[in-house]
């Protein structure tokens, strides 16, 4: 069974940093691109970042470019999001999700339950 | 960046009725890269449709997707009580994703 479990969320002051993790199981992690998607309180889904299967290429939404860094450790089946210079508008639930192309699916076919990040003084 | 506009914002319908949700793109989207998700309160999104018209695993056949280029539609043929939720479309352009603002399907 495919599972994605996020961790690392919490309360942080503006300007602070936080590192999110996503632990994957039930599939060959190194065969899939991975994404982070966030959802502010009462808001819609917003794409944040993605990383390809071997970790060599990454992409970011303009709103986080230069502040967030996505990475992965395929040996440990883990995905990370280093978030620096956090702002109040980064407050959201952060989901990791699998891009299903490795299974022939052009979509985010599995999602974690999310981890809450709150940026406030 | 491709912008996706979903309409209506809210759809008020009764169980058993047909729901038609629209997703319009600011520029042409490859049908391979248009997906639909369902999200219920307090839950993670769930993939419903990918490639504009292919149902994801375990999705009932009352859900169907159609469209091309800039106009895409999600249809729920007969609403079941568990279908009342928020629905999002999503596109991928050069591996950069964008989501629509969502359509809430609520019980009338």
Concatenate the DSSP letters of all residues of A75-96 into one string: GGTEEEEEE-S--GGG-EEEEE
For residue B44, list chain A residues with Cβ-Cβ distance below 8 A: 95, 111-114
Enumerate chain A positions whose Cβ falls within 8 A of a Cβ in B. 33, 35, 37, 44-47, 50, 52, 59, 61-62, 95, 100, 105-109, 111-114
Looking at chain B, the whole-number percentage of residues with pLDDT higher than 70 is: 100
Q: How confident is the model at residue B95 (pLDDT cuts 50, 70, 90)?
A: confident
Which pLDDT score, from 0 to 100, does residue B30 have? Answer: 86
Contacts across the A-B interface (CB distance below 8 Å): 67
Contact: A95, B44; criterion CB under 8 Å: yes
Per the prediction, chain B carries an average pLDDT of: 96
- Nearest to B36, CA basis, from B21, B49, B24: B49
User: Per-residue pLDDT tens for B3-49?
Assistant: 999 999 999 999 999 999 999 999 999 878 999 999 999 999 999 99
State mean pLDDT over A71-93: 98
State mean pLDDT over B72-85: 97
Spatial CB neighbours of B68, under 8 Å, sequence gap ≥ 6: B31, B52
pLDDT of A64 strictly over 90: yes
């Amino acid at each position: 069974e495919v599972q994605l479990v996020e961790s690392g969320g919490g309360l942080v002051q503006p300007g602070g940093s936080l590192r999110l993790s996503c632990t994957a199981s039930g599939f060959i992690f190194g065969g899939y691109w991975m994404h982070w998607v966030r959802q502010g309180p009462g808001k819609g889904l917003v794409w944040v970042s993605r990383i390809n299967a071997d970790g060599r290429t990454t992409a970011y939404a303009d709103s986080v470019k230069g502040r967030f860094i996505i990475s992965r450790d395929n040996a440990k089946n883990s995905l990370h999001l280093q978030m620096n210079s956090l702002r109040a508008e980064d407050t959201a639930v952060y989901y990791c999700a699998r891009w299903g192309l490795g299974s022939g699916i052009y979509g985010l076919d599995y999602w974690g339950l999310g981890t809450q990040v709150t940026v406030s003084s | 960046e491709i912008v996706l506009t979903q309409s209506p914002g809210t759809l008020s319908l009764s169980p058993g009725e047909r729901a038609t949700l629209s997703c319009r793109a600011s520029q042409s989207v490859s049908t391979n890269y248009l997906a639909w998700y369902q999200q219920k309160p307090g839950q993670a999104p769930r993939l419903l449709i990918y490639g504009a018209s292919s149902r994801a695993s375990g999705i009932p056949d009352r859900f169907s997707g159609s469209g091309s280029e800039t106009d895409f539609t999600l249809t729920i043929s007969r609403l079941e009580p568990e279908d009342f939720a928020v629905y999002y479309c999503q596109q991928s352009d050069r591996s950069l994703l964008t989501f629509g603002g969502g359509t809430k399907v609520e019980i009338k």
